Chain A
Amino acid sequence: MSALLQLDRVEARYGPVQALHGVSLDVGEGELVAVLGANGAGKTTTLRAVSGTVRRSGDVIFAGEKLPRRPDAAARAGIAHVPEGRGTFSELSVWENLRLGAYTRRGALKDDARRVFTYFPRLEERKSQQAGTLSGGEQQMLALGRAMMARPKLVLLDEPSLGLAPMLVAEIFERLDRMKTEEGMAILVVEQNANLALAHAARAYVLEVGRVVLSGASDELRADESVRRSYLGY
């Protein structure tokens, strides 16, 4: 599989604080890859480095080309970033949020919206409702739906399980599987529920203080003693 996304020794900082110390990783076309790590390990920053929403150095190659460090360039190239806390526009309606997802491209929205609604029927029921009044689970669905509206090649997904009930978390991950197989989207997901992430991802990277300390197939990582102790809990 040729790599859709490739990070080559990427560094990133917030003012004086260096958050990434040379992270290299890759994601293949249509591949679901997980990033694991403790609080502050650099997981969120890794996603931000890809979408250009943090100062970075080092190369990010996307679909064979060097990606400029501008969020709009990342969005136009086909990268959708679903941030931690979802980042939905709470004052806007569900439908307006979805329309904004398609901002970077031309063409009719109806078919795409219909597609999104087959994934998340609740969004259709709540189409005209203000996003801020949705429950946490519905907001996560909206954030994913909005990302789908951009028809991205790659979705960057930060902690989709955050604030969601156990049953809903499982449901969200099933939808991610579908987005991968039916829409052909590649997904790079940061997730604290490592058990679930490794059950759905083909491969994973483990970050510690801004560095990749371990990577491999999900099965291999699940068998790793340190991963089990720190992230899986058995």
Chain B
Amino acid sequence: MPLLEVENVTKRFGGIVALDGVSFAAEPGEIVGLIGPNGAGKTTAFNVITRLYTPDEGDVRFDGESLLGTSPSGVIRRGIARTFQNVELFRGMSVLDNVRVGAHAHRGDQSPEDVLFYVNLHSLRYRSAAGLPYGTQKRVELARALASSPRLLLLDEPAGGLSHEEVAQLGKFIRSMRDDYELTVLLVEHHMGLVMSVADRVHVLDFGRKIAEGTPAEVRRDKSVVEAYLGAPG
């Protein structure tokens, strides 16, 4: 049974249909990529899953049960954690305190200190989050998410601000994290090298609709994906 099932979800904002009958699923232990042009509805999908938005139609099920009756804070307690596209840390707080917030939201068996060692941020734990480089802030968000002992982790553009070499390291890191923490991962990312190297399956959105799905290799060859998103190879 899939751990996450998004079924026929439609979300409208006024006259704009941000998601138009979108369905996809993630099996336990899978890394699933969600790609598409800006404004395609990827972050909206994250916001529906984490219940910041209520869909107009459709259902979202986690571990077989609907999430629609669950509050955003309840979602964390169900075992879903996320990072944000533009980094949403508590800027005035230390790295450690930010990660403690994750553990506080859902106390599992992860200690904030252990998580900080795992993501290699322990030496920065007393630094203020606001002053850190962008890529490092993204890692603090990841640590905060891990500290809430999730089963499903939603990553919104984790490669932002990283150089080529760092993105390659991040890819390896996501895979080992999936194994070490027994996670299922949903990944929104524009860095195609990263998506293609870590994702088991990829779903492609365009104007709120799913236009393709498959293995990374299949999706890369798909004509509609090349036209809507990737552009001419180069």
Contact = CB atoms under 8 A, between A and B. Distances in A.
B165 interface: yes
Interface string B108-126: 0000000000000000000
Contacts of A39: 133-136, 161-163, 166
Contacts of A84: 134, 161
Contacts of A17: 127, 131
- Residue from the set A84, A162, A165, A167 with the largest chain B CB neighbour count within 10 Å: A165
A81 B32 CA distance: 36
B214 interface: no
Interface stretch (B35-43, B64-72, B91-99, B143-151): B35-43
Contact of A40 (B128, B136, B192): B136
A193 B155 CA distance: 20
A230 B165 CA distance: 5
A138 B16 CA distance: 16
Given A36-B163, A37-B163, A166 B190 contact: yes
B58 interface: no
B190 A164 contact: yes
Nearest to B41: A135
A170 interface: yes
B133 A44 contact: yes
Contact of B131 (A15, A38, A165, A166): A15
Given A44-B134, A163-B85, A166-B229, A38 B38 contact: no
Given A15-B131, A85-B86, A137-B39, A167 B163 contact: no
B160 interface: yes
A183 B135 CA distance: 32
Contact of A231 (B127, B131, B163): B163
Contacts of A23: none
Contacts of B39: 135-138
Contacts of B136: 39-40
A83 B211 CA distance: 33
A165 B37 contact: yes
B159 to A, nearest CB: 8
A164 B168 CA distance: 19
B38 A159 contact: no
B160 A38 contact: no
A229 B165 CA distance: 7
Interface string A24-44: 000000000000111110001
B101 interface: no
A223 B51 CA distance: 49
A40 B135 contact: yes
Nearest to A15: B131
A164 B160 contact: no
B163 A165 contact: no
Contact of B231 (A37, A136, A162, A166): A166
Interface string A1-36: 000000000000011010000000000000000001
Contacts of B37: 137, 165, 167-168
A192 interface: yes
A194 B163 contact: yes
Contacts of A133: 13
A224 B171 CA distance: 25
Contacts of A44: 133-134
B177 to A, nearest CB: 18
B200 interface: no
A233 interface: yes
B2 interface: no
A167 B190 CA distance: 10
Contacts of B87: 85
A14 B128 CA distance: 10
- Residue from the set B39, B134, B229 with the largest chain A CB neighbour count within 10 Å: B134
Nearest to B35: A165
Interface in B161-201: 161-166, 168, 190, 192-193
A162 B163 contact: no
Nearest to B162: A39
The 6 closest A-B pairs by CB, nearest first: A39-B135, A135-B39, A137-B38, A40-B133, A167-B231, A135-B38
15 contacts: A14-B131, A17-B131, A39-B161, A39-B166, A40-B133, A44-B134, A133-B13, A159-B134, A163-B38, A163-B190, A164-B190, A165-B37, A166-B230, A168-B37, A233-B164
